[in-house]
Structure 1
């Protein structure tokens, strides 16, 4: 298997894991408590109240298939394969859980705790997908269509639709459930940003050293990362120094920092965090 195939397989595994995490939060915590925090699942929860003969999982499948058909009609063959896979996997898993593990009531008597799981797990799953430039479909498809044919602010449009779906829970299930849903929407927005930034965070190293060769060797041979060498001069001693610039993951950062401490205790390091790294080995360049 080539390196590109391994990377592709790894991404599909991550997408699958992300969808399964989302599904657990939706089925075991969101559906039983009727927490409608927007999106296709929120629509399914509200509609399920008025059409009790159809389960929320079935409604999610119907809505997702309709939106996928709309996406293919608008975008044709260029419509994202990942979006189709993620959307169908989530719909199928929800329906499978309804058969294998039917739930007629919440798991606990603590709605606030269940709200945190109902919001947190889908937020983690969505962040994993977002980090791979993937989507679970649903209302994201409508956003893609609006982006193509209108000048609307898509973020505002999606937020407005989520608010409408969430507020409708007040009328369908009463103020208590409605207020929990509104709180969930707020938490979801904050938690989603937090998890997304956390997944994207990389460590940027500026290493000032008199012994660059072993450090460069460790970066390239052990961490399989690139580095840029700059020549500097101490402003006080006017001694020649080498400045190494590199970007690594958080796990690799610990290894690199420990190695530098051991190899060159006099080395000066500036370590910063960044959520936007664009270049070979990271985002934007294959």
Structure 2
């Protein structure tokens, strides 16, 4: 592990460690200030840990904290990430999950409001914010994130259906333990958490870029210096008004890379015409940076 961390630039190490701490704090606030007091269940392994903790406390004389169960459930995920994603990604994911488990244990459960709707909304939003920032920085909160990233890197496809089925199980368990009212509140919280994560984690939002330029070599060189993206070059285009010769360049980037693309275009050809289409669907492999 020392060799792995030694190969990471100091500024990147500091950033990832800071994000891990932020995620841990936000996840513990979501759990202990909103979800647990409001009987709201999270998505993924955190929700499963809540269910197991509740069942143990109801069927035995002792209790097992959610934080301990969550860490144990994530151990197989660490092994999967180590083999299938990257060692650097796994190290920082272990750090983030460990810190989250520690903070969940030491942050006291506090009832800010008895309203389960408020608990569902704010718990989901805070957790989604933390998860989104973690994924954006090349680490994860563990659990289903690791399975999703593994399959997406291998096939280029999402596994939203698996997440939906797993979370449906969480919601059904909430209904059995606390009633259907709380199951619906849990569904609301899971939905909000996912939406906030999507807004923050812009690396998964793909955009198709079409560049019409008279300086194709300069543009290609400048873009590829800043982005690890393939570019398709179409020669022989012609402007309908001036009939000047043009070259069309096509590529796909993530929204997270938009700023780098803008810088590249300013440096290579300020007069180029750039058209961008949001949320395009990609078939096949697509390089996922930062993991």
Same fold (TM over 0.5): yes
Aligned residue in 1 for 2:183:
178
Aligned residue in 2 for 1:63:
69
Aligned residue in 1 for 2:258:
250
Following superposition, the deviation at residue 90 of structure 1 comes to 0.7
Unaligned runs of 5+ in 1: 145-152
Where do residues 41-60 of structure 1 align in structure 2 (5 Å cutoff)? 41-49=46-54, 51=57, 59-60=65-66
Alpha-carbon distance change, 69 to 186 in structure 1, aligned in 2, over 3 angstroms? closer
**1:37-91: CA deviations, max 9, x gaps?**
3434334444555628877xx622321343355567x769758333322221110
Residue 201 of structure 1 pairs with residue 211 of structure 2: no
Residue 96 of structure 1 pairs with residue 102 of structure 2: no
Aligned residue in 1 for 2:154:
none
TM-score normalised by L of structure 2: 0.63
Following superposition, the deviation at residue 92 of structure 1 comes to 0.4
Where do residues 69-88 of structure 1 align in structure 2 (5 Å cutoff)? 78=83, 80-88=90-98
Aligned residue in 2 for 1:240:
245
TM-score normalised by L of structure 1: 0.64
**1:185-217: CA deviations, max 9, x gaps?**
344455545554x3433655433234668x749
Q: Paired residue for 1:270, among 275, 283, 287?
A: 275
Following superposition, the deviation at residue 33 of structure 1 comes to 0.8
- Do the aligned partners of 2:20 and 2:96 also contact (CA within 8 Å) in 1? yes
Q: CA RMSD in A?
A: 4.8
Alpha-carbon distance change, 93 to 189 in structure 1, aligned in 2, over 3 angstroms? same
Q: Distance in 1 between matches of 2:81 and 2:192?
A: 36
Q: How many residue pairs end up in the alignment? A: 263
**1:121-146: CA deviations, max 9, x gaps?**
222333344455643235668999xx
| SS in structure 1 at match of 2:65 | helix
Following superposition, the deviation at residue 32 of structure 1 comes to 1.6
Following superposition, the deviation at residue 110 of structure 1 comes to 4.2
- Do the aligned partners of 2:171 and 2:186 also contact (CA within 8 Å) in 1? yes
